[in-house]
Structure 1
Amino acid sequence: MAADKKGSHIKGTKKQLPDGWITGAFRYAIFPTDEQKQRLEMAFGCERKIYNEYVAGLVEHLTSIEFSGGFLTYKVPNYTTITNRFDFLDKSNDAFVYNDAKIRFQAAIKKYNETYGKRPLHYKKSVQKKMKAGYVPSLRDVKGLPKFHSKKQGGFSYTTNQTNGNIRIESRDGATFLRIPKFPEGIPVRLHRELPADGLIKKATIKREGDRYIVAISVDYPFEKLQLVEKVATSKITALDYSQSDLYMDSEGQKAEYPRFHELIGKRQRRLNKSLARMKERAMKDENGQPVYSKNYRQTVVHYQKTMAKAANQRNDFLHKRSHQITNDYDAIVVEDLDLSNLAQCLKLGKKLHDNGFGMFRNMLKYKAERKGKHYIVADRFFPSSKLCSACGTKKENLRLSERTYTCAHCQAVIDRDHNAALNLKNYGIRKLSNLGFLAAPVSS
């Protein structure tokens, strides 16, 4: 539902924010009691169960129609058809727990149709290697299809929506509590920064990261964006060329020097994975042949999740600080429109790409630049930033990826490949701003 300028809801309308309003997420640490932790864990598990049942139904449907590629045309059933089959999926959970699983599943199907709907059936790279040895792939090996959520890898979250003020922050007895459905007593929360006074809480996502519990509150609130800079000096323009090892190199020749947090915990991750695999292999089996996991196994899983969450939080902190610095120092930022999903398919490059999070970094730059009145420019995907000579403009047609130094055969210029590409991107941004009338005239001597 939409809200008017006074913040009142307009019933019967789709969400459309009034002028001068934005939607922001505010993350806080929550500290549930042991009894509340059990209820939250049950909610996470029920959400994961519903989602996995949706995936199982999709696989069964695609098998029956002998799916061979193209758009997915699957009518997603209501979650009540699943909850009625399992007694533990009862009303002790918030109804939005089950509805959230349906929304996520629908989003996964939409993403598949947008990305792979017009392409032939494509299998994962790891599966393609097995197929050469005689492996017969199944629908679970198809790239992009919604996959089952595992208890080990994640899925410890659910989203509940605002209905008649059922999500709110309360203060009593000198403490602050988060009120959400099925938790009327409130969950202690550390409110390290206040929510916007005129904001409207729309929804809350509760998640567990390792052994920590987090709530992300989505709020619509009035925000005065700064006026767009009308005249941009060339010294206030920076361009960022993507770098596998350093995240980016800018047009000044400076590298981001990204610490590669996931690589730092790589050995620990492999050690924990081996430990979990041994425990799973040695675990006792129940009457259905399923392993009965020990307390030590569950503790190791939490340790694994905590390790991965720490690396993710370190990466987000680095990207937020660096994007904040860039949008403060420059009036225009130029980046290249890379197809990151295709780059991630390369087994040699994909791991580093997922580690540095360049896609998230671009999103951060975009919304921060918009709020600060700065220009965010995306170069055309087919702009040959790496092949052009930044000194004379000559294009080098045959440029191998292994050539890390650009040597121009026309003007004999020798420059670092990434620095050369960043300079070309900056020149692209200068031309774009000049055509739009935002480039400041050079100061005459």
Structure 2
Amino acid sequence: MARFEIPAGWVAQAYRFALDPTPTQQRALRSHAGAARFAHNHMLALVKAVMDQRTAERSYGISDDELTPSLGWSLPTLRKTWNTRKAAVAPWWGENSKEAYNTGLDALARGLDNWSKSRTGQRAGKSVGFPRFKTARSRRSVRFTTGVIRVEPDRHHVTLPRLGTLRTHESTRKLARRIGDGTGRVLSATVSQDSAGRWHCSLQTLVHAKAKPAHAPRSPFPVVGVDVGVKDLLVIAAPDGTELERVRAPKPLTRAQTQLRVLQRTAARRHGPYDPVARSKQTPSKRWRAVQARIGKTHARAANVRRDALHKATTALAQHHRVVVVETLNASGMRSAGGVFKRGLNRALADAALAQVRAMLAYKTRWYGSALLEADRYFPSSKLCSACGGRKPNLLLAERTYQCEHCGAAIDRDRNAAVNLARLGETRISGEQSPADSGSVAGRGAIRETGPARAVMAGGCEAPTPHNPNRVGQAGTVDSQGTAA
């Protein structure tokens, strides 16, 4: 199935509102999320059973024509199979919207599709494992694509299928104005619960003619380079060496460590869900559940503080400058695999959320008409001297001041990297690169391992599960019907 195409002049945007449901509505929300989890787990167990049965029959020498009929992995096939079995395995299915079960089946179809493509090399990135069963502690979420989905005129309520009208903590006036003007259209709604127990409704919309606000100031520096870090979240500099801004990292998780330590020790002294002495599961106490809720609220607040700082900084960058140049960092590779000697660094990297800066700039630059330029992962922005272009091969992380061995210049390490990134973007504007953006940056001191920079034109999309007609089963045989072979 083809992906959803965003019309010209429109962009995809999500509006997220915190909900204030009644106790009855909370039970309905938990029921819908549980129904999605049940449908996902039931069909996953059926898929695994069919795959294991076919694998065993092949080991017995049975021909492919006589094997147990395969089970399709596409969303329509999974939905059809579920509809034939739901009356027997879930006689309570009528209590929830059909969208709840479709949410679980769609997640399963996507997981199976990603796993099969990862095994055959059709999917880039890290290898994807086989889908796992969802537990009761998994993230609760349900997505509505059909039915009544609207923002009420009072701008403090949203209406969803089977759930009715739910009150929102924030005002919905921004979205209501766009819908009233005909410049916005709701595609779907996703209701989810965070670690603090609060429910949120995210409305996926198409917005027309989203442009830079008239009140946004115009910066005299159209091209800037952005260096991200742990101590200073963003260091913004111009090609001429001027440091425009230095955004300090909020470090919300670090600030909450004292409170988290107290709560974790309190939870350890109470009756949890597992008895380490008897090595068996047990019913957790109410006080243990209360402490876990406080721990979740603490983590949720840290995430909100971090997200707020990132949104404010990236929005200002996208609105004030014409070209923003960032690094392509391997954020996951910078963290060790649970090494004790890097525990503090791992926590600091996770607290900074370095990868989120590039992800937010990717869609905000398109919203506001600016451009995002990503330097190659091997571009030595920190090792190049912004004064003479010389290269310092051995630069320790503890060296916060860049001392050039060629010209003797001394400059702040982060500022030096931001200037080099800004000059990389300046070559794109001045036409020093080829039309395909494949020009090198040898004049800036690049080396052979430095690849071309690439321009990013990001845009969201709302699409159902992409259904590949050619899938590969667990045994490695190709099934032209998209089935579990």
Whether TM-score is above 0.5 comes out as: yes
- Quick one: percent identity of the two aligned structures? 28
Following superposition, the deviation at residue 296 of structure 1 comes to 2.9
Following superposition, the deviation at residue 392 of structure 1 comes to 0.9
- The alpha-carbon distance between structure 1 residues 75 and 111, as it changes in their structure 2 partners (threshold 3 A), is closer
C-alpha distance in 1 between matches for 2:233 and 2:129: 26
- The alpha-carbon distance between structure 1 residues 93 and 290, as it changes in their structure 2 partners (threshold 3 A), is farther
C-alpha distance in 2 between matches for 1:145 and 1:413: 53
1:187 aligns with 2:178: no
Equivalent position of 2:150 in the other structure? 168
C-alpha distance in 2 between matches for 1:276 and 1:148: 27
Map 1:322-333 to 2 at 5 A: 322-333=313-324
1:101 aligns with 2:104: yes
Query: SS at 2:94's partner residue?
Result: coil
1:21 aligns with 2:10: yes
Following superposition, the deviation at residue 61 of structure 1 comes to 8.4
Deviation per residue, 1:318-349 (Å, 9 max, x gap): 11111122223322211011122322446434
Equivalent position of 1:78 in the other structure? 78
Contact 1:53 1:82 in 2 (8 A): no
C-alpha distance in 2 between matches for 1:345 and 1:116: 25
Report the RMSD for the aligned CA atoms in angstroms. Answer: 3.8
Question: Which of 207, 212, 224 is the matching residue for 2:192?
Answer: 207
Aligned residues: 387
Aligned-partner residue type, residue 143 of structure 2: T
- The alpha-carbon distance between structure 1 residues 426 and 345, as it changes in their structure 2 partners (threshold 3 A), is same
- The alpha-carbon distance between structure 1 residues 109 and 338, as it changes in their structure 2 partners (threshold 3 A), is farther
C-alpha distance in 2 between matches for 1:113 and 1:255: 45
Unaligned runs of 5+ in 2: 57-70, 434-485
C-alpha distance in 1 between matches for 2:200 and 2:106: 21
Deviation per residue, 1:222-243 (Å, 9 max, x gap): 124469xxxx998332211121
Contact 1:46 1:89 in 2 (8 A): no
Equivalent position of 1:36 in the other structure? 25
- The alpha-carbon distance between structure 1 residues 360 and 54, as it changes in their structure 2 partners (threshold 3 A), is farther
Question: Which of 370, 390, 407 is the matching residue for 2:403?
Answer: 407
- The alpha-carbon distance between structure 1 residues 116 and 280, as it changes in their structure 2 partners (threshold 3 A), is farther
Contact 1:29 1:215 in 2 (8 A): yes
1:316 aligns with 2:298: no
Following superposition, the deviation at residue 83 of structure 1 comes to 4.8
Contact 2:10 2:208 in 1 (8 A): yes
- The alpha-carbon distance between structure 1 residues 176 and 392, as it changes in their structure 2 partners (threshold 3 A), is closer
Contact 2:118 2:128 in 1 (8 A): no
Question: Which of 39, 48, 65 is the matching residue for 2:37?
Answer: 48
Equivalent position of 2:94 in the other structure? 91
Q: Give the TM-score of the pair, scaled to structure 1.
A: 0.74
Q: Give the TM-score of the pair, scaled to structure 2.
A: 0.68
Aligned-partner residue type, residue 168 of structure 2: V
Deviation per residue, 1:159-210 (Å, 9 max, x gap): 11134xx212334xx68532212124x2223534242222221111112232
Query: Which gives a bigger RCO, structure 1 or 2 (Cα 8 Å, sep 6+)?
Result: 2
C-alpha distance in 1 between matches for 2:120 and 2:267: 37
